[in-house]
Amino acid sequence: MKAITSKYKYLSFLLFFTVSNVTVNASVISFNKGKDGVTCVLEKGLMKVKICMDNMVEVKYTELPLFLDKPSLVIINDWKIIPNFTVAENSTEIIITTATLNIIVNKQSNSIKYTDLKGNVILSEDELQGKTMISATIAGIDTYNCTSKFNSPADESLYGLGCHPEDSLSINYKGRNQELAIKYMTGAIPVLLSTKGYGLMWDNYSASSFKGAEEGNTKFKYESESGNMVDYYFIYGPSFDKIIASYRNATGNAPMFPKWSFGLFQSQDRYKSQVEVLSVKDKYRNNKIPVDVIVQDWFYWEPNVIGSHVMWKERYPDPKVMVDELHKANIHAMISIWPIFSKGTPTYNQMAHSGGMTDILWDNAMTHILDGYYDAHSAQARQLYWKQAKDSLIGRYGWDAWWVDQCEPDNGNNLDLRRKSHFAIGRGIDYMNTYSLMHSTGLYDNWRKDIPGKRAFFLIRQAFAGQQRNAATLWSSDITCTWNAYKNQIPQGINACASGIPYWTSDIGGYHFHWSAPDWSSPANRELFTRWFQFGIFSPIFRIHGKGERALFSDNWDAPMKSILLKYDNLRYRLLPYIYSLSWKVTNEGYTIMRSLAFDFRNDSAIKSIPDQYMFGPAFLVNPVTESMYSFSNGKNIKKTRKVYLPKSADWYDFWTGKLIHGGKTIDAAVPIETLPLYIKAGSIVPMGPYLQYATEKVDPIEIRVYPGSDAEFILYEDENDTYNYEQGKYTTIAMNWNETEKTLTIKNRKGEFPGMLKDRTFRIAWVSTKNGTGIEPASNAETIKYSGTEIKIKK
């Protein structure tokens, strides 16, 4: 009996020891109200609750005796305007109240609960492990693991966390985990949106993870391998649009892209000469296929080395003439420039001798030379990098856009070397995820300073929180030319945009097939490319890239396929008034174009785990076809349909037929190879331009399609297309409203002006039905309206 008792005492001690080493939450000893929040002195350490906005709170927690200096690379708002808040307490709690929130601190555990003003719980930290710091040694480096754990009810759904191109799991992070460490083929944006109406931003830059199925799927947590404090932001919506807008208010708004960037990008791995680039231009223009950008991918420097910033003269005798010829054809030019240097070049020597190189090396996939990364965390190195690239390439030849490749940094699987590296800002282990953020910061800031009349556009392989402010479009890296890879792109694009990055794209068709070009002339690959191209039309940025010829004029495509591709290319260009106006909402309102269904139908439980449907702006429900139906021997027997859920809070028009369908049900949508299932929400206004060859052609007349069934509004935005004068108010907006009860469309007074604006224009009003205003072709029965800027009312 004595032995049993001793054993019991030992097990009890072991249990207590284990829990006490995990459960390190400390009681609040005292607290002080400051001008921007409340600081709590704990039994061990400190906690600060900072009121950033009425609906945004920063929580910092440390077990150290003081908060060490930690400048945020993500948050750029200096919070000069401090919202009003009150502080009260009782025997067990400290209650901080803003105009929209209660933030309730448990004195015993320091755990925090967020409620609305009626006391309804929005989110709460776990009481035992809400915030923890645990000593750790990683790669021989002494540090602290930092964690926050939150309660998660069964009916919650979670979205965001960036783009993970090869991930094939659920779009909903409730009940699943996700690594958050930027490296080749996986990203990290530690921003989370919940259907409970809140968002979280985890402000830690070390390799991290999200654990979404803790304690029987009742909790989730953020976990970072290194830090000197827990630091996160809570944002209340409850709408996703308000959460994202508030997040961008804190981390920086996305600037306007040039209008041409919403047209088609034609790219290939790779064009090898000036003659080849100009031949692509001629084939598009001579065949009257709309296109706006031709891209020069890597190894234009060969036989020189990476980082030399040289276009090899034998293959590119006059790059400026090449770019000028593209411009004459109203085509813009993008070039790939990497943050990597091979030894022995003047550019490398300048960077190395000034202390701007890191010890992180990339095994060059083409030469197998170990090439080095510059230190993007050094302001001086960023300036030198920009100066070298601008003087040698961007400014010298007049390139319009910059492809920012290989910016993880990518050194294979040797993450310990990245941890042990040292940047100008600090230890590599503490800045594993911010290389691309700081690299793009240098590019954007210097572009704005040195190329003031041309909007910046950076196509970038990795993005972190806040990178939208640097004119970054995230692309999903080197994905394969397979149906599985294509299928994965849709939820990854949706979640990337739910993370606050408004512009995302994939390589239409995929980048490689076992690192070679697939046979694009095969029926199977033609089908894959067609379906991917249809999806690309409704991606924020629309671009073809990869190994093997796949331009729209390619002989790899037969005549029927070319006809389908041209049809969808034309649809993209007809929709440019809609898309460009939405891009203004991105900049002006913090809007999201590629929208998880939870943005608009958060309370519809049926949408929570649908991975392959999304809204494109306020009107279009997009439903890509991700299964092969034609390329099997029994293809004739495969039913050409896909399941489409129509959210229940609206009725829906079939874009192709005009048929009106009630929401709240799943239908079998017909999907012959020429058809992407598209449904327009009843109560929508969709402006469509004429057929174009390039984005900045004169857009007149504009067809205004009105989808009755509910009140609707849309704001048509126009400006100079490619300057920053919009920041000084040089743009116009025309608000349009449909009143369902009165059956009246009101085109309101035009607001604003800009040089070269179209003062008098024509609108063609199409009331959509099964007999009118369907598909890509202009409506056959439209009422023509002359508009000079003064309000007009049109009765149906």
Give the active site residues.
405, 408, 478
| 4 Cβ contact partners less than 8 Å away, ≥ 6 residues apart | none
For residues 339 and 460, give the distance between their C-alpha atoms in angstroms, rounded to a whole number: 12
Q: 3-class DSSP state for residue 292?
A: coil
The secondary structure of residue 667, as a DSSP letter, is E
Q: 3-class DSSP state for residue 514?
A: coil
Instruction: Tell me how long the chain is.
Output: 796
Angle subtended at Cα 176 by Cα 173 and Cα 179, rounded to the nearest 5 degrees: 90
Angle subtended at Cα 248 by Cα 399 and Cα 111, rounded to the nearest 5 degrees: 145
| 88 Cβ contact partners less than 8 Å away, ≥ 6 residues apart | 94, 95, 97
Q: 242, 236, 261, 202: which is closest to 592 by C-alpha? A: 242
Sign of the dihedral defined by the CA atoms of residues 435, 213, 244, 49, in that order: negative
What does the DSSP assignment read for 299-361? -TTTTS-TTS----TTT-S-HHHHHHHHHHTT-EEEEE--SEE-TTSHHHHHHHHTT-EEEEE
For residues 197 and 462, give the distance between their C-alpha atoms in angstroms, rounded to a whole number: 27
For residues 157 and 175, give the distance between their C-alpha atoms in angstroms, rounded to a whole number: 9
End-to-end CA distance of the chain, in Å? Answer: 91
Return the amino acid letter for 313.
K
Phi, psi of 429 (to 5 degrees): -60, -30
For residues 660 and 658, give the distance between their C-alpha atoms in angstroms, rounded to a whole number: 6
Q: Name the token pair of 184.
A: 């080749």
Considering only CA atoms, give the Rg of the chain.
27
What does the DSSP assignment read for 532-582? HHHHHHTSSSEEE-SBS---TT-TTS-HHHHHHHHHHHHHHHHTHHHHHHH
The helix (run of H) or strand (run of E) holding residue 276 is helix 274-286
Give the largest Cα separation in the chain, rounded: 99
Chain centroid to CA 11:
50
